[in-house]
Amino acid sequence: MTNYEEMSPAKVRELIREQTITGPTAGMSKGFAQANLVILKKEHAYDFLLFCQRNPKSCPLLDVTEVGSFKPNKIATNANILTDVPKYRIYKDGVFTEEVLDASDYWDEDMVCFLIGCSFTFETPLLAADIPIRHIEEKCNVPMYKTSIACEKAGVFEGPMVVSMRPMTYENAIRAVQITTPLPAVHGAPIHIGDPSQIGIQDIDKPDFGDSVTIKDGEIPVFWPCGVTPQAVAMQSKPSIMITHAPGCMFIGDIKDTTLSIF
Amino acid sequence: MTNYEEMSPAKVRELIREQTITGPTAGMSKGFAQANLVILKKEHAYDFLLFCQRNPKSCPLLDVTEVGSFKPNKIATNANILTDVPKYRIYKDGVFTEEVLDASDYWDEDMVCFLIGCSFTFETPLLAADIPIRHIEEKCNVPMYKTSIACEKAGVFEGPMVVSMRPMTYENAIRAVQITTPLPAVHGAPIHIGDPSQIGIQDIDKPDFGDSVTIKDGEIPVFWPCGVTPQAVAMQSKPSIMITHAPGCMFIGDIKDTTLSIF
């Protein structure tokens, strides 16, 4: 099996561009920041930028391109955001219409790309602290859930916060809070630990996005705000068109995750 | 002398509104967040929001009002941003034209208010750690300087970073880094310590905004990014109209500074 973990972001992006990699990117290019993607027309860009400012835990912005540019120059060189994500989702009028491996056909000159920090980034320091990451162990996508936590509205954008979940021992949950706290650019500390029903999750075995993972005896679920939130919000807010990454299939930038720590 | 330090934000805002307080707010309503103010027309709001996103150290946003609203509801209740700041500056086409105690006459229905975190907020935990704040001791305004550090451009907005300066002992400088690091919403850690010429400051005794303070033997200047940055940027970017606070004369919100810590 190819060792994507040790591969450079540029090389992984190349394999994505030629559609060799078409699935979740967790664990790839260890130590480099991964990002969620939202592409909108300029007419919705102010509202969305404000939405991110008002909901920094779920939508911490790493990069915003100029209008008409698909090059996220702040976090990567020689990247094309329309081809360098393994899988895209197209939303028209709030409806998820298709999943594609190349978003170029949907691009318009009046579009803006928003790159949002991703929790895969902090999995590197969690692994370094010997905290096992279940979805990496089980070679599947991280489980993600819509919650009853309402995002703060901005213009047309409103909807529920989406969270990602990692089960761990109680001791590791405390350590994970410590490790992720100085990383607000990739969601920071967990938003919830324990009882899923407290945040409106009815069945922990049925995630709204991604895959279900095993929760072992003696483990509790730990929930982080998730960059898939804009997709749940898009369904409710119905912009004419919105291009996003497919959940778990991220853009991998050239910046090291250590540079995102406030320490 | 009235004890403004222990007075509630609502009461201080009332004294400001009736123009009893018309000067710098450092040290007032101890423990509550203070904010810089920028008011722009909607046509410049997207560029400015993007400017803040790209320059989070100098422009950490605490609140953005709806278009046409002068009520910063996220950080204060029953406040009027046009009357509750001690002193305002009006910039027309990039030129500072006048200083007023009430900005109501300059308000337009298509304006948006941006409230930006202020370093006065972290003076409370510095004082709690027995770190003396010179401009409070000398009862003057904090010294602020334009630097040679360029902000990242966004649309029409570009220009130099402005910094505030507090002299302290070497030991206290280290402690101040530790104390302000978890407070990115109010500028976070210093941007520079020591030699002012390294960041383009020619004469430490001649600040561009505020007052000069004494630097004692054995002390070094410690520089933080400053929310006056948009005023230096406005001069260069020339929006048709921009209303700001006068340097040092801040808006005092109802949120406790402790809620801004990422810890």
Beta-sheet strand order (sheet of B144-150): B144-150, B160-169, B219-225, B192-193
Instruction: Say how many C-beta atoms besides its own lie within 10 A of residue B233's C-beta.
Output: 28
Of B46, B52, B181, the CB nearest to A46: B46
Q: What length is written for chain B?
A: 263
Structural domain includes residue B263 = no
* CA A194 distance to own-chain centroid: 22
Contact of B38 with chain A, judged by CB distance below 8 Å, is answered with no
Mean pLDDT of B54-68: 96
| Nearest-CA distance A191 → chain B (Å) | 12
Chain A: give the shortest CA distance to residue B55, in Å.
11
Question: By the CB < 8 Å criterion, does A64 face chain B?
Answer: yes
What sign has the CA pseudo-torsion A244, A247, A253, A256?
positive
Nearest residue of B to residue A263, measured between CA atoms: B181
User: How close does chain A come to B262, measured CA to CA in Å?
Assistant: 7
* pLDDT score for B158: 95
- Per-residue pLDDT reduced to its tens digit, B218-249: 999 999 999 999 999 988 899 999 999 999 99
Q: Give me the phi and psi of B139, to 5 degrees please.
A: 50, 50
Instruction: Report whether pLDDT(B51) > 60.
Output: yes
Reading chain A (263 residues) residue by residue, the pLDDT tens digits are 578 999 999 999 999 999 999 999 999 999 999 999 999 999 999 999 999 999 999 999 999 999 999 999 999 999 999 999 999 999 999 999 999 999 999 999 999 999 999 999 999 999 999 999 999 999 999 999 999 999 999 999 999 999 999 999 999 999 999 999 999 999 999 999 999 999 999 999 999 999 999 999 999 999 999 999 999 998 889 999 999 999 999 999 999 989 999 88
Q: From residue B3, give the alpha-carbon distance in Å to each of A17, B8, B127.
A: 64, 11, 17
The alpha carbon of residue A238 is apart from the nearest alpha carbon of chain B, in Å, by 20
Q: Assess B149–A contact: CB distance below 8 Å, yes or no.
A: no
pLDDT of residue A1: 57
Coil/strand/helix, residue A225: strand
| pLDDT of A19 | 98
Predicted pLDDT of residue A204: 98
Which pLDDT score is estimated for A39? 98
Task: Tell me the Ramachandran region of residue B199: left when phi exceeds 0, alpha when psi lies from -120 to 50, beta otherwise.
Answer: alpha
Report the distance separating Cα A77 and Cα A44, nearest Å.
26
Same structural domain for residues A28 and A97? yes
Residues A145 and A220 in one domain: yes
Note the ipTM here. Answer: 0.87
Asked if residue A231 belongs to a domain, the reply is: no
A22 and A110 assigned to the same domain: yes
Distance, in Å, from the CA atom of B3 to the CA atom of A234, rounded to the nearest integer, reads 50
Lowest-confidence region among A45-49, A230-234, B165-169, B199-203: A230-234
In the chain, the amino acid numbered A202 is Q
Taking each helix axis from N to C end, the angle separating A229-237 and A42-54, rounded to the nearest 10 degrees, works out to: 130
DSSP per-residue letters across B128-188: HTT---HHHHTTSPPPEEEEEEEPPPBTTB--EEEEEEEEEEHHHHHHHHHHHTT-GGGT-
Mean pLDDT for B108-133 is 95
Same domain for B74 and B38, yes or no, is yes
Query: Does one domain contain both A43 and A171?
Result: no
- Name A63's bridge partners: A115
Average pLDDT, chain B: 96
Q: Is residue A232 part of a domain?
A: no
Sign of torsion, CA A98 A100 A105 A109? positive
State the pLDDT at residue A195.
96
Q: What is the pLDDT of residue A129?
A: 95
Position B28 in a domain: yes
Straight-line distance from the first to the last Cα atom of chain B, in angstroms, rounded to the nearest whole number: 36
Residue A262 lies in a domain: no
Contact A181 B54 (CB under 8 A): no
Examine the domain organization and report whether A36 and A84 are in the same domain: yes
Res B263: pLDDT: 82
Burial of B86 from C-beta contacts in 10 A (0-12 / 13-18 / 19+): buried
| Amino acid residing at B205 | D
* Same domain assignment for residues A54 and A155: no
Alpha-carbon gap: A61 to the closest alpha carbon of chain B (Å): 7
Cβ pairs A/B, distance under 8 A: 38
Q: Is A260 helix (H, G, I), strand (E, B) or coil?
A: helix
3-state DSSP call for residue A258? helix
- Cα distance from A50 to chain B (closest Cα, Å)? 7
- pLDDT attached to residue B29: 96
B31, B74: one domain: yes
- Name the residue with tokens 């770190």: B131
Give the pair of three-digit tokens for residue B55.
Answer: 């320059």
Residue B242 within any structural domain of the chain = yes
Task: Look up residue B92 and give its two tokens.
Answer: 């027309």
* B64 within 8 A of B42, measured Cβ to Cβ: no
Query: Is the residue at B192 inside a domain?
Result: yes
Q: How many CB atoms lie within 10 A of CB B196?
A: 18
**Which residues in chain B are closer than 8 Å to A38, comparing Cβ atoms?**
none
Residue B98 has pLDDT above 60, yes or no: yes
3-class secondary-structure state, position B105: helix
Instruction: Pick B46's closest partner by Cβ from A49, A61, A262.
Output: A49
Q: Compute the distance between CA of residue B67 and CA of residue B78 in angstroms, rounded to an integer.
A: 18
* A250, two tokens: 């991220």
Same structural domain, A114 and A147: no
B182 reaches A (C-beta below 8 A): yes
Q: Supply the CATH number for residue B163's domain.
A: 3.30.2040.10
Same domain, A84 and A160: no
- For residue A64, what is the domain's CATH number? 3.40.1640.10
Number of domains in chain A: 2
Please tell me the distance from the alpha carbon of residue B199 to that of residue B181, in angstroms, as a whole number: 20
* pLDDT for the residue numbered A140: 95
**Residue B77, in any domain of the structure:** yes
> Is B259 an interface residue toward A (CB < 8 Å)?
no
Chain B residues whose beta carbon lies within 8 Å of the beta carbon of residue A50: 49, 64
Of B151, B148, B126, B145, nearest to B137 by C-alpha is B126
Domain encompassing residue A247: 4-120+237-257
Considering only the beta carbons, identify the residue of B45, B184, B188 that sits closest to A46: B45
Contacts of B74 in chain A (CB under 8 A): 54
* Residue A12 sits in the same domain as residue A70: yes
pLDDT at A263: 82
User: Which token pair is A43?
Assistant: 């007419």
Q: Report which secondary-structure segment, H or E, holds B98.
A: strand B95-100
Q: Do B113 and B207 belong together in one domain?
A: no
- What sign results for the dihedral spanned by CA atoms A234, A238, A244, A248? positive
Determine how many CB atoms are found less than 10 A away from the CB of residue A202.
8
More reliable by pLDDT, A132 or B263: A132
Q: Does the beta-carbon distance from B188 to A262 stay under 8 Å? A: yes
Nearest to A204 by CA among A186, A191, A223: A223
pLDDT, average across residues B101-130: 96
